[in-house]
């Protein structure tokens, strides 16, 4: 389905009862208002992925929704990458010249784009300094998708002087926010139930996809989907699987990417392959970034989904798995704790042993697996679908432009 043809009516079947009507009526209050999104890329990454879906639906709802993308040279994007890492706590060296270039590129983009609207939502640090050129009319909000809880202080002090010129900031979790002198709103990210990664699949289609991946489905499948990154603790997942394997004959699938464009990712992948060696029931799949259908099929084929991160952003793979009716066992960190209702849709755990215990517990209780899966799907339906995201953004439009 081409994203620019998306309509709100397509979501009536999957959204909670009454939600689409509520959205249509909410949209009536802001019909014709201009809502402009600005970010740094039109494809790749979670922000572009969701904007590709949100903007057409907003347009369908009668909002004059727009989406602009800033441009920059390699030096600019090297700086914003370092900014991004430093804001998430990694030590980075940012020179005065780099920061000046960041501001200059933002000024040039402001001149080129001349962003105007009733509400301009600027996503993430890359275009944050566009605010320097804001016109007198319209409200500006900064949408921060990253974890700002423990930033490199000097870098945050640099960015903060732009952020505090906005009318509001929006964060994905309260723990990701910083103290600011402007109102801060909470908007969880979301998944799109109609996107390739989450759409309904037939049994045959799932099986065909698993066959293509050479993953056998004759035993219960434990699955973790994530980049090959130490913070996702893939080795910990294998260790938990080995404890479980003493009691239950299961397969483990570790599916992810990030090994091709990230030297550390490649290192972690090699380590995982080494640890998994000679166990035919462990599958380590290094998938390309656009393997949405494969991920969908794996999540649907899994018995239990694991997200045993030791550090995590929001971790939307949890919502993706719950949407497919799977109980999730996740590390007690970041957005995982906001998504898993402990004992209702899954469990949060703090160790390999904790993960192993909960996997065993669930495998020994098939009715509980089904009950938790069903509860998880309903929890996601209400709290983590794109329709709720739309409600939040329209509410922001109502609130800031009333």
Nearer to other proteins, 217 or 401 (CB): 401
Residues in 171-230 that interact with other proteins by CB under 8 A? 171, 174-175, 177, 179-180, 183-187
**CA proximity to 377, closest of 316, 334, 323:** 323
Binding mask 117-156 for other proteins (x = CB under 8 A): ----------------------------------------
383 forms part of the interface with other proteins (CB under 8 A): yes
Residues in 304-343 that interact with other proteins by CB under 8 A? 332, 337, 341-342
Nearer to other proteins, 29 or 219 (CB): 29
344 forms part of the interface with other proteins (CB under 8 A): yes
Binding mask 29-48 for other proteins (x = CB under 8 A): x-------------------
Give the rounded distance of the alpha carbon of 308 from its chain centre.
16
100 forms part of the interface with other proteins (CB under 8 A): no
Q: Which of 12, 81, 219, 382 binds other proteins (CB under 8 A)?
A: 382
- Kindly state the smallest distance separating residue 327's Cβ from other proteins, in Å: 14
Nearer to other proteins, 188 or 241 (CB): 188
Of 196-204, 264-272, 309-317, 377-385, which part binds other proteins (CB under 8 A)?
377-385
19 forms part of the interface with other proteins (CB under 8 A): yes
Q: Token pair of 243, please? A: 């404890």
Nearer to other proteins, 138 or 354 (CB): 354
Residues forming contacts to other proteins in the complex (CB under 8 A) are 16-19, 21-22, 25-26, 29, 171, 174-175, 177, 179-180, 183-187, 332, 337, 341-342, 344, 350, 375, 379, 382-383, 391-392, 394-396, 398-399
């Amino acid at each position: 389905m081409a994203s620019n043809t998306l309509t709100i009516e397509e979501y009536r079947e999957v959204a909670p009862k009454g939600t689409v009507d509520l959205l249509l009526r909410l949209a009536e209050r802001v019909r014709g208002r201009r809502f402009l999104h600005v970010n740094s890329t039109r494809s790749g990454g979670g922000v572009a992925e969701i904007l590709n879906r949100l903007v057409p639906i907003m347009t369908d709802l009668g909002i004059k929704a727009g989406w602009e993308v800033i441009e920059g040279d390699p030096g600019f994007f090297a700086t914003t990458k370092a900014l991004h890492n430093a804001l998430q706590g990694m030590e980075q060296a940012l020179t005065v010249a780099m920061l000046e270039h960041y501001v200059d590129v933002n000024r040039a983009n402001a001149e080129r784009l001349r962003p105007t609207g009733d509400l301009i939502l600027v996503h993430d640090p890359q275009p944050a300094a566009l605010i320097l050129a804001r016109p007198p009319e319209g409200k500006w909000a900064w949408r921060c998708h990253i974890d700002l809880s423990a930033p490199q202080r000097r870098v945050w002090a640099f960015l903060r002087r732009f952020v505090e010129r906005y009318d509001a900031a929006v964060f994905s979790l309260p723990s990701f926010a910083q103290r600011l002198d402007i109102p801060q709103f909470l908007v969880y990210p979301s998944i799109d139930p109609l996107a390739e990664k989450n759409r309904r699949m037939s049994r045959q289609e799932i099986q065909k996809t698993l066959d293509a991946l050479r993953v056998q489905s004759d035993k219960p499948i434990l699955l973790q989907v994530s980049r090959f990154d130490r913070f996702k603790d893939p080795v910990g997942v294998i260790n938990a699987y080995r404890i479980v394997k003493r009691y239950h004959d299961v397969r483990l699938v570790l599916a992810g990417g990030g090994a091709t464009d990230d030297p550390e990712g490649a290192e972690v992948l090699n380590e995982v392959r080494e640890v998994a060696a000679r166990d035919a029931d462990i599958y380590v799949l290094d998938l390309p970034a656009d393997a949405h259908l494969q991920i969908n099929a794996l999540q649907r084929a899994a018995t239990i989904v694991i997200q045993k991160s030791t550090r995590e952003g929001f971790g939307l793979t949890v919502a993706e798995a719950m949407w497919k009716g799977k109980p999730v066992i996740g590390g007690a960190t970041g957005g995982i704790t906001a998504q898993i209702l402990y004992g209702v849709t899954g469990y949060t755990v703090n160790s390999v042993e904790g993960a192993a215990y909960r996997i065993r517990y669930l495998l020994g209780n098939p009715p509980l697996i089904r009950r938790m899966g069903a509860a998880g799907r309903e929890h996601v339906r209400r709290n983590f679908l794109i329709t709720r995201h739309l409600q939040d953004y329209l509410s922001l439009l109502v609130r800031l432009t009333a």
